[in-house]
A and B are shown apart, each in its own frame.
Chain A
Amino acid sequence: MKEVGFFTVILYNGFHMAESNNKAKRKTGGVPKEGSHEDRFLKAFDEYSNALFRHAVYRLSDRERAIEIVHDTFTKVWTYIRSGHEIDSYKPFLYKVMNNLVIDEYRRRKEFSLDAILSGEGVDEGTFDELHEGSIEELAFSLDAKKASLLIGDLPLVYREVLTLRFVDGLGPKEISDLIEESENVVSVRIHRALKILRDMIQKSEADAAAKRLKPTP
Chain B
Amino acid sequence: MKSFDTDLKKYAEKMSLKASERRELRERVLSYMEYHPLPKQTVAQSERTREMMQSEPFIVFHFNALYARIAGGMFVVLLIMAPFVAERSVPGDPLYLIKTGFNETIQGQLANSPYKKIEFETKLMERRISEARVLASEGKLTQDVKTQIAENVKEHTDAVKDGLAELRTQDAEGAAIAEIAFNSSLEVQSMVLGANDSTNSTSSIDSILTVVNEAREGVASNKENSNPSFEGLMARVELETTRAYELFVSIKDSTTPEESIDIERRLSDIDRLIGEAKEHYDTEIDGAVDDLIKTLGLTQKLIAFMTDINVRQTVTLESLVPVVLSDQERIDIVKTGIEAISGTKADVEERLTTVEDAGVKAKVEDGVAQVAMLLIRATTALETADIVAAEVAIKEANAIITDLDLLTKPVEVTVPDETFVPEEQNEETGTTTATTTATIPEEEVE
Contact = CB atoms under 8 A, between A and B. Distances in A.
B25 A49 contact: yes
A10 B17 contact: no
Interface in B257-282: 267-268, 270-271, 274-275, 278
Given A10-B58, A79-B36, 4 more contacts: A9-B62, A78-B32, A185-B246, A189-B238
Closest 10 A/B residue pairs (Cβ)? A145-B7, A16-B53, A149-B11, A137-B1, A140-B4, A145-B8, A140-B1, A168-B12, A127-B271, A132-B249
B244 to A, nearest CB: 8
B41 A5 contact: no
B8 A53 contact: no
A206 B340 CA distance: 46
A10 B56 CA distance: 12
Given A17-B57, A127-B275, A54 B1 contact: no
A54 B18 CA distance: 12
A57 interface: yes
Given A67-B25, A127-B274, A82 B42 contact: yes
Interface in A1-55: 4-14, 16-18, 33, 36-38, 41-42, 45-46, 49-50, 53-54
A167 interface: yes
Interface in B115-140: none
Contacts of A5: 65
Interface string B4-15: 110111111101
Contacts of A16: 53
Contacts of B67: 4
Contact of B54 (A17, A45, A84, A145): A17
Contacts of A185: 239, 242, 246
B28 interface: yes
B54 A18 contact: yes
Interface string A158-181: 000000000110100000000000
Contacts of A143: 4
A34 to B, nearest CB: 9
A141 B11 contact: no
A48 to B, nearest CB: 12
B38 A38 contact: yes
Interface in A74-97: 74-75, 78-79, 81-82, 84, 86
A205 to B, nearest CB: 16
Contacts of B406: none
Given A10-B59, A17-B54, A132-B246, A78 B45 contact: no
Consensus secondary structure, chain A interface: helix
Interface of B: 1, 3-5, 7-13, 15-17, 21-22, 25-26, 28-30, 32-33, 36-39, 41-43, 45-46, 49-50, 53-54, 56-68, 238-239, 241-242, 245-246, 249, 267-268, 270-271, 274-275, 278
A185 B268 CA distance: 19
A141 B38 contact: no
A101 interface: no
A16 B10 CA distance: 36
A148 interface: yes
A102 interface: no
B62 A8 contact: yes
Contacts of A6: 62-65
Given A54-B15, A82-B42, A128-B271, A145 B29 contact: no
Interface string A114-156: 0000000000010111111010110011010110110000000
B288 to A, nearest CB: 14
Contacts of B38: 37-38, 81-82
Given A10-B58, A132-B246, A49 B46 contact: no
A42 B268 CA distance: 53
Nearest to B270: A128
10 contacts: A11-B58, A12-B58, A38-B33, A74-B29, A140-B1, A146-B7, A149-B11, A167-B4, A167-B8, A185-B246
Contact of B63 (A9, A50, A54): A9
Contacts of B62: 6-9
A47 to B, nearest CB: 12
Contact of A8 (B5, B63, B271): B63
B50 A33 contact: yes
A11 B61 contact: yes
A206 B41 CA distance: 61
A71 interface: yes
Contact of B42 (A37, A127, A130): A37
A70 interface: yes
B25 A70 contact: yes
Contacts of B267: 128-129
Contacts of A8: 60-63
B17 A67 contact: yes
Contact of B16 (A53, A75, A134): A53
A128 to B, nearest CB: 5
Nearest to B241: A128
Contact of B49 (A10, A54, A86): A86
B415 to A, nearest CB: 59
